[in-house]
Amino acid sequence: MSASTGGKSTTSRPSRRQVLLGGAALTAITTASVLGSHPTARAAGTRGAGAPLRGDVFTLGVASGEPDQHSVVLWTRLAPTPLADDGLGGLGRRAVTVQWEIAHDERFRHVVRRGHETTGPEAGYAVHAEVAGLEPGREYFYRFRCGRFLSPTGRTRTAPAPGVLGTGLMMAFASCAQYEHGYFTAYRRLAEDEPDLVLHLGDYIYEYGPGAHVSPDGVVRDHRGPETETLAQYRQRYAQYRTDPDLRAAHAVAPWLVVPDDHEVDNNWAGYVPEHPQPNFAARRANAFRAYYENMPLRRRNKPTGSRIRLYRTVAWGSLANFHMLDTRQYRDDQACGDGWKVCEDAADPTRTLTGDDQERWLLGQFRRSRARWDVLGQQVFFARKVNDEGAMSMEAWDGYQGSQDRVSRGWVAAGVRNPVVLTGDVHTHWANELKADYSDPDSPVIGTELVTSSVTSGGDGADSDPADHPDLQRNPHIKFRSTQRGYVRTRLTRHELRADFRVVDHVTRPGAPARTRASFVVADRHPGLTEVSPR
């Protein structure tokens, strides 16, 4: 467990940061009465078989997500015994009613909505409350109650109304948090920045059994249970990750927009092709998607049907930004030339697809419809061309699907998208890239920008290096920055520019590292490409 803690204030009135980052004490003393006064409170607690709830049911924290101008999803999952092998958190089989409330203030003096949801084993004891009737562009605080237990408080935010540019948005994004490889310090530091919105680009969990996936720096803690294949195993794995207080703090601080990558299912899977042959991969996909839905603050319309889940979607932030969240695993053709780094003719075959035809058509349509200042693609795998010293490319990334790479980037150019920005995870390294119409022509114009986040932990501590002095940058002149330290990316979007701060922590194999900004870049409105500015 991480030893890092939140609030350091010495005043007697807790700051917001104490409430969100470590202040369970405040919620305990302020309010049972508020929720308790609500008529549905009497219906609280449990029905059906099973003893009354004994331990705290809110061990996995709270989350919110998918904000639009009037609504947001509030999430929690009940688990008095989070690591129970049946994945049901020690609750067995019973129906449980949970109340929620959402307020303008963190002390819940001005509650604006209340309601309740019933959950049970078929939902993995997850609660997804889609709260409507909120005001646009506003901060809210929320919490849940179940029986005598009160959840921690979360902060969330609605999107600005359509047409509103607003004064700006602080958005942070992260990916790749192998629980065994390190402490989730980067999530803690992200929470301390108090962003308005968080994007998670996948590898939220890793599927491996203990000892099967070791970083160069070893492991600091073990996965519980074997490699995940059954629903119970995926449920248990998500619960184990959420026992980490740094991850819970990152969820509690802001609404999230999430997409999975490969490890939420199986390393490097593609469509219905698993990494290694296995008898019923469709059933494994179904288990993985069901647990993903249960554990993420997604809308009911994202609920999977068997082995399929519809996750690609656009979330608008007023007219400042459209976030097009993509799924680059479920509909892809299998990796060309046997996967890995290859010099591979098939990678250029225009009939191959990374997104699938339906998602591609949808995305190109979203480009044509967009009037946003920034069109941001929240997705998983490396978009820019990247060749190694043998001239090989990654068959897992967009380079392995050059038809898709071409059609999507030409699509945003043809649609006149004002400021296209691709956000990427997966590769456990920070990168800042200029996207080109033709990477083989040095005079080809820059047509977009890509920001790639390093991992939260995956790969271990990493090492600091001169970010401009690496053969990858010499070979690929459109790539402007690289860092192999762990971290996340903090962005600030305004009508004039997007600023990106590449945040790093010096170590993850011990808790408590401070974060610093390794490099900062600005993308100016209508000027794709990167200008390095002094870090902050």
Q: Looking only at residues 234 through 293 of this chain, which bind Ca ion when binding is defined by CB under 5 A?
A: 261-262
- Which x/- pattern over 78-117 shows residues binding Fe ion (rule: CB under 5 A)? ----------------------------------------
Q: How many whole angstroms separate alpha carbon 23 and alpha carbon 192?
A: 13
Closer to Fe ion by CB, 31 or 458: give it.
Answer: 458
Closer to Ca ion by CB, 101 or 426: give it.
Answer: 426
* Among positions 360, 426, 461, 501, the unique one binding Ca ion when judged by CB under 5 A: 426
- Tally of CA atoms within 13 A in the half-sphere of 340 that contains its CB: 4
CB-based contact 239:91 (threshold 8 Å): no
Spatial CA neighbour of 201 closest among 380, 454, 453: 380
Closer to Ca ion by CB, 217 or 275: give it.
Answer: 275
- Tally of CA atoms within 13 A in the half-sphere of 221 that contains its CB: 19
Q: Which residues contact 346 (CB under 8 A, 6 or more apart)?
A: 336, 337, 352
Q: Does residue 176 bind Fe ion (CB under 5 A)?
A: yes
> From the CB of 268, what's the least distance to Ca ion, in Å?
8
Residues 149-182: b if buried by 16+ CB within 10 A, e if exposed:
bbbbbbbbbbbbbeeeebeebbbbbbbbbbbbbb
Closer to Ca ion by CB, 203 or 229: give it.
Answer: 203
Residue 187 in 3-state DSSP? Answer: helix
Closer to Fe ion by CB, 176 or 493: give it.
Answer: 176
Closer to Fe ion by CB, 129 or 176: give it.
Answer: 176
> From the CB of 170, what's the least distance to Ca ion, in Å?
26
CB-based contact 76:62 (threshold 8 Å): yes
Q: What percent of the residues of the chain are helix, what percent strand, and what percent coil, each to the nearest 5?
A: 20, 25, 50
* Among positions 322, 405, 458, 476, the unique one binding Fe ion when judged by CB under 5 A: 458
Q: Which does 458 bind (CB under 5 to 8 A by kind): Ca ion, Fe ion, none?
A: Fe ion
Q: How many whole angstroms separate alpha carbon 97 and alpha carbon 91?
A: 13
Closer to Ca ion by CB, 261 or 266: give it.
Answer: 261
Spatial CA neighbour of 472 closest among 421, 436, 431, 517: 431
Stretch that binds Fe ion, among 66-74, 197-205, 251-259, 443-451 (CB under 5 A): 197-205
* Among positions 101, 203, 207, 461, the unique one binding Ca ion when judged by CB under 5 A: 203
Q: Which does 266 bind (CB under 5 to 8 A by kind): Fe ion, Ca ion, none?
A: none
CB-based contact 265:288 (threshold 8 Å): yes
Q: Does residue 457 bind Fe ion (CB under 5 A)?
A: no
Q: Does residue 41 bind Fe ion (CB under 5 A)?
A: no
Q: Which does 262 bind (CB under 5 to 8 A by kind): Ca ion, Fe ion, none?
A: Ca ion
> From the CB of 329, what's the least distance to Ca ion, in Å?
9
Please report, for the chain, how many H helices and E strands are present, in that order.
Answer: 10, 25
Q: Does residue 203 bind Fe ion (CB under 5 A)?
A: yes
> From the CB of 323, what's the least distance to Ca ion, in Å?
20
Interacting residues with Ca ion (CB under 5 A): 203, 261-262, 426
Interacting residues with Fe ion (CB under 5 A): 176, 203, 458
